[in-house]
Amino acid sequence: MTATIKDIAARTGLSITTVSLVLNNKQSRISPKTRQLIFDTARELNYIPNQMAVSLVTKETKTLGLVIMDIANPFFAELSKGISAKASAYAFDIILCDTGDSYEQTMRSLKLLASKNVDGVVMTLSDEIRDEKMKVLSDFLQNHTLPVVLIERVDRLVMADCLNVNHEKGSRLAADHLLKLGHRKVGCITGPSHLEATGRRLKGLKDVFAENGVEFRPELVVEGDYHIESGYAGTERILTADPSVTAIYAFNDLMAYGVYQCLKDRGIGIPDQMSVVGFDDIFFSKMLYAPLTSVALPIRQMGERAVQLLIERVANRELPRRCDVLEPSLIVRESTAAPRGTGPLD
Amino acid sequence: MTATIKDIAARTGLSITTVSLVLNNKQSRISPKTRQLIFDTARELNYIPNQMAVSLVTKETKTLGLVIMDIANPFFAELSKGISAKASAYAFDIILCDTGDSYEQTMRSLKLLASKNVDGVVMTLSDEIRDEKMKVLSDFLQNHTLPVVLIERVDRLVMADCLNVNHEKGSRLAADHLLKLGHRKVGCITGPSHLEATGRRLKGLKDVFAENGVEFRPELVVEGDYHIESGYAGTERILTADPSVTAIYAFNDLMAYGVYQCLKDRGIGIPDQMSVVGFDDIFFSKMLYAPLTSVALPIRQMGERAVQLLIERVANRELPRRCDVLEPSLIVRESTAAPRGTGPLD
DNA sequence: TGATTTAGGTCAAACGTTTTACCGAGCAGA
DNA sequence: TCTGCTCGGTAAAACGTTTGACCTAAATCA
């Protein structure tokens, strides 16, 4: 149905080789008239190269895999936007694999991608993936020598380039902001405790408290899982532990939304009765009635950078392993204020 | 590097044909021992079939294209989720093309997808695409006989299956709700006027007003473009036209967010001073401080259904053209109430 | 004039599969 | 002993490209 290079050859009376050479602008010496003839015929026949055939011989597909936990999550959606844009700029396209946060699906996706011969993959890892699961995954990648860029997760197991965030710094910004406002009783809803990110963010928080001579209260720290519901539940637990808490710091915006809901259900006002700080600064956070103060990540740029790293590695697999760290910044909005009855300290 | 069918053949001393037959479970008569031997060797060598090669001969890629306007927009993100999930269930994978709402990018994506031999494509069309642009696009699809499912846009030009929404019904639900609450002065922020959807929604609105003997005021209808900013601007224009408006109906939730922002900037409370109704009911609408009353679309199911339609057509291209219409429903939340000083009518 | 170069192309193998014939060995039946 | 079947398997073409080696005729050189 679709015209092939053969059709062009037949139509012009030239050889397949010549057509291929011309269409790919190889620096071969083919006369201008012949070139033109071929181009014209190609246009006329609506010729579109068959990438399957091309890839079969060239061993490259100009395709990247994107293994993502949940495309409906605005963080990942935004990340994908950056990835997609950058890939497109380099004439790569991307196969989207939504793993729904599951290990099995992640492995299945990876096999699929390997089967489709993608040139590389950008991936985010489900929290569930660690220890032996991580090992299996890592072995698979090694086995198929698939270039990978890992987002927001470093792991000595996986020989991949990474894109990370200065978690500690992010927490420091948030903590500093709250302490300066005068908050002393701060609740915190973290991510899964086995993740390195969680530890680093917690460290940043503790350090700032220590540096300011403010007591850090571990009983006000509850573990969340980055979903809205755990923000809600976490708030309840914090409030139970100490009803006089004046601020809550959630390790992502989604959980902060859960915090909002819980506070609303309890009739606790933001920021007059409770300050809330999030992390990620996803698009909708600014749309909340009390626009959320949040540690902002350059999400889209992360996506773009990830593709950049990946494409560089695809071009040269011998590159030393690289691990970029992006700097967060604090976006102060209306969800934070001095606690009732106090003024800011400085 | 990666093992091929040839390696298996060599290792087992069997022919390529036999290996292929076994691995694809063709109903050929190959002895159980041979089968087992092949399976074992395949496992041992970490064999993964090369889809490029497979596709080259079978002419099918088990891949679907997804041409979408903006993956970072929650509506499309959710749609993609449904699409991705359903595709995955059918062992198809999808190539994501974010067109950023541009015609040129749409065409480029389509060419790319044709080149990659996708079996079909699910697409949303930029508002910009109409008339001759639509013609070019349509010709292209015709030319490459690419099965297509069009979302939220019917067009006699394109010979494609469609997935649509009962726009009229959606508006009727919204209008009915507002009238019952007692609203008489209702502002409306529509989509681009050349879209069929806009006309149908407007019709639903007018009809309900007429049926209830309420005057419909065209000067309170302003055209939007489905982006937040136009919700903001539209609200300003409506308020200028008649400051005593008591409700605003936006043709999508994103524009409703713009309405929220404008009202907030002007100190107008929701719902006590202004009721707001949206359309789409995207995830975040329920997270707003005044959770948004919205005409809900089964977004994820739309995505799933689209894939269903597409896969059916891929399997049988002779199918008559199909056009599914999905029914919206009204989700009443806290952004709507009786106008000040009135009680609901019934 | 004969040898070389150059311009302009072409041949054929290779990529990793699928698939349609085809083949040979063993066995049953007559 | 021959015919014909079945069982288990194989040969080879085809899919649409790319690419390194090769070819031929004309132009250039000495």
Determine if strand D comes within 7 Å of the CB of B28.
yes
Work out whether strand B186-190 and strand B293-296 pair parallel, antiparallel, or are unpaired.
unpaired
Q: Which of B71, B112, B117 sits opposite A93 (nearest CB)?
A: B112
Distance of alpha carbon A336 from alpha carbon A247, whole angstroms: 8
Residue A336 Cα distances to A117, A201, A207, A278, A290, angstroms: 49, 19, 21, 10, 9
Please judge whether A72 and B81 are an interchain contact, meaning their C-beta atoms are less than 8 angstroms apart. Answer: yes
Distance from CA(A36) to C1'(D27), angstroms, rounded: 25
**Residue A7: which H helix or E strand, with range?**
helix A5-12
Extract the tokens encoding B331: 């989700």
Sheet holding A329-331, edge to edge: A221-223, A186-190, A247-250, A275-280, A293-296, A329-331
Shared domain for B27 and B145, answered yes or no, is no
Question: What is the reported pLDDT for A51?
Answer: 95
pLDDT band at B346 (very low <50, low <70, confident <90, very high): very low
- Cα B342 to chain centroid distance, Å, stands at 39
Same domain, B127 and B186: no
> Would you call A345 exposed, middle or buried from its count of C-beta atoms within 10 A (0-12, 13-18, 19+)?
exposed
In this prediction, residue B345 carries a pLDDT of: 41
Peptide bond just before B218 cis, omega within 30 deg: no
CA of A28 to C1' of D22 (A): 15
Question: Cα–Cα distances in Å, from B183 out to A222, A303, B292, B330?
Answer: 46, 46, 17, 17
Query: Residue B1: its pLDDT value, please?
Result: 65
Judge: B71–A81 Cβ closer than 8 Å, yes or no.
yes
CATH number, domain of A30, equals: 1.10.260
- Residues A224-282 pLDDT 10s: 999 999 999 999 999 999 999 999 999 999 999 999 999 999 999 999 999 999 999 99
Are residues B84 and B128 part of one domain?
Answer: yes
The reply to whether the CB atom of residue B326 sits less than 7 A from any atom in nucleic acid chain C is no
Q: Identify whether residues B69 and B155 lie together within a single domain.
A: yes
Is there a contact between A100 and B116 if contact means CB atoms under 8 Å apart? no
> In this complex, which residue's CA is closest to the C1' atom of nucleotide D8?
B30
**pLDDT given at position A342:** 57
* A75 close to A279: Cβ distance less than 8 angstroms: no
The predicted model gives A298-321 an average pLDDT of 94
Structural domain containing residue A13: 5-49
Chain A residue numbers touching B71 (CB-CB < 8 A): 71, 77, 80-81, 84
pLDDT at A76: 97
Q: What is the residue-averaged pLDDT of chain B? A: 93
In chain B, which residue's Cα lies nearest the Cα of A262?
B287
Half-sphere exposure of A299 (CA within 13 A, CB side): 19
- Cβ contact A287–B261 (<8 Å): yes
Burial-class residue B217 by CB neighbours within 10 Å (0-12, 13-18, 19+): middle
How is A66-121 classified by DSSP, letter by letter? EEES-TTSHHHHHHHHHHHHHHHHTT-EEEEEE-TT-HHHHHHHHHHHHHTT-SEE
Residue B92 burial (CB count, 10 A)? 23
**Residue B121 to chain A, least CA–CA distance (Å):** 13
What confidence score (pLDDT) does residue A346 get? 39
Residue B153 has pLDDT above 80, yes or no: no
Rounded to 5°, angle at Cα B224 from B222 and B228: 125
Statement to judge: residues B284 and B179 lie in one domain? yes
If asked whether residues B290 and B222 sit together in one domain, one would say yes
Residue B278 located in a structural domain: yes
Element (H, E) at A172: helix A167-181
Decide: CB of B212 under 7 A of nucleic strand C.
no
Q: Are strands B329-331 and B293-296 parallel, antiparallel or unpaired?
A: antiparallel
What confidence tens digit (pLDDT) does each residue in A125-169 have?
988 888 888 889 988 988 888 999 999 877 666 778 999 999 999
User: Residue B277 CA to nucleotide D14 C1', Å?
Assistant: 60
**Residue pointed to by tokens 């982006």:** B227
Highest mean pLDDT among A23-27, A282-286, B24-28: A282-286
- How far CA B45 is from CA of A49, A169, B6, in Å, comes to 32, 46, 11
* Domain total in chain B: 3
How long is the CA B21 to C1' C30 vector, in angstroms? 37
Same domain, A171 and A187: yes
Q: Check whether residue B210 and residue B292 sit in a common domain.
A: yes
Tell me the nearest-neighbour CA distance from A206 into chain B, angstroms. Answer: 31
Q: What is the CATH number of the domain that holds A97?
A: 3.40.50.2300
Nearest C-alpha neighbor of B65 from the set A102, A51, A150, A314? A51
Tell me, what's the pLDDT at A157? 65
> Quick one: pLDDT at residue B2?
86
Instruction: Note the strand D nucleotides within 7 A of protein beta carbons.
Output: 7-12, 14-21
Rounded to a whole number of angstroms, the distance from the CA of B269 to the nearest CA of chain A is 11
pLDDT band at A343 (very low <50, low <70, confident <90, very high): very low
Rounded CA separation B254/B244 (Å): 23
Residue A343 included in any domain: no
Same domain (yes/no): A172, A285: yes
A121 and A175 together in one domain: no
Asked if A24 CB < 7 A from strand D, the reply is: yes
Q: What is the pLDDT of residues B32-70, one digit of tens each?
A: 999 999 999 999 999 999 999 999 999 999 999 999 999
Asked if A158 and A174 sit in the same domain, the reply is no
| Helix (H) or strand (E) segment spanning residue A308 | helix A299-315
Q: Which residue's structure tokens are 């649509």?
A: B164
Name every chain A residue with its beta carbon within 8 A of the beta carbon of B52.
Answer: 52-53, 55-56, 61, 116-117
Give residue numbers, 262 to 281 of A, with CB < 7 Å from strand C: none
pLDDT of A325 strictly over 70: yes
| pLDDT given for residue A129 in this prediction | 84
Residue-level pLDDT at A344: 43
Distance B257 CA to D10 C1' (A): 68
pLDDT confidence tier of residue B157, bands split at 50, 70 and 90: low
Name residue A184's amino acid.
R
pLDDT grade for A2, boundaries at 50, 70 and 90: confident
Helix, coil or strand: residue A256: helix
Q: Say how far apart CA B144 and CA A47 lie, in whole Å.
A: 10
Percentage of residues in chain B with pLDDT exceeding 70?
A: 97
Q: What are phi and psi of B61, to 5 degrees?
A: -110, -10
Percent of chain B at pLDDT > 90 equals 83
Over range B73-84, report the average pLDDT: 97
H-helix or E-strand containing A211? Answer: helix A196-211
- Using one digit for the tens of pLDDT, what is the confidence trace for B168-184? 999 999 999 999 999 99
Indicate which of B52, B90, B261 best probes the interface with A, i.e. most A CBs within 10 Å of its own CB: B52
CA of B21 to C1' of D11 (A): 15
Pick out the nucleotide with least CA–C1' distance to B58.
C18
Residue range B187-208: mean pLDDT, rounded = 95
Residue B215 lies in a domain: yes
Q: Report if residue A345 sits inside a domain.
A: no
Select from B55, B85, B288 the Cβ nearest to the Cβ of A98: B85
User: Cα A74–A75–A79 angle (5° rounding)?
Assistant: 110
Question: Is the same domain home to B66 and B172?
Answer: no
The contacts of residue B185 (CB under 8 Å, 6+ apart) are: B217, B220, B242, B244, B245, B246, B247
Interface contact B97-A97, CB threshold 8 A: no
Specify if B307 maps to a domain: yes
3-state SS string over chain B? CCCCHHHHHHHHCCCHHHHHHHHCCCCCCCCHHHHHHHHHHHHHCCCCCCHHHHHHHHCCCCEEEEEECCCCCHHHHHHHHHHHHHHHHCCCEEEEEECCCCHHHHHHHHHHHHHCCCCEEEECCCCCCCHHHHHHHHHHHHHCCCCEEEECCCCCCCCCEEEEECHHHHHHHHHHHHHHHCCCCEEEEECCCCCHHHHHHHHHHHHHHHHCCCCCCHHHEEECCCCHHHHHHHHHHHHHHCCCCCEEEECCHHHHHHHHHHHHHCCCCCCCCCEEEEEECCHHHHHCCCCCEEEECCHHHHHHHHHHHHHHHHHCCCCCCCEEEECCEEECCCCCCCCCCCCCCC
Quick check: A38 CB within 7 A of strand C?
no
What average pLDDT does range A13-35 have in this prediction?
A: 90
Task: Round to whole Å and give the CA distance between A297 and A277.
Answer: 14
Which nucleotide has the least CA–C1' distance to A24?
D18
Query: Helix B5-12 and helix B16-23: axis angle, to 10°?
Result: 110
Nearest alpha-carbon partner for A328 in A170, A203, A173: A170
CB A294 within 8 A of CB A277: yes
Q: How far is CA B55 from CA A54, A114, A206, B111, B303, in A?
A: 12, 15, 56, 18, 26
B344 pLDDT higher than 50:
no
Q: Report d(CA B168, CA B203) in Å as an integer.
A: 6
Residues paired with residue A64 on neighbouring β-strands, in sequence order? A94, A120
Evaluate whether residue A54 is within a structural domain.
no
- Which bases of strand C sit closer than 7 A to a protein CB? 7-12, 14-21
3-state SS class at A279? strand
Please report residues of A whose CB lies closer than 8 A to that of B114.
Answer: 2, 48
Which chain B residues are closer than 8 Å to A78 by Cβ? 72
Q: pLDDT class for A345, splitting at 50, 70, 90?
A: very low
Classify residue B346: in a domain, yes or no: no
Across the interface, whether the CB atoms of A95 and B98 are under 8 A apart is answered no
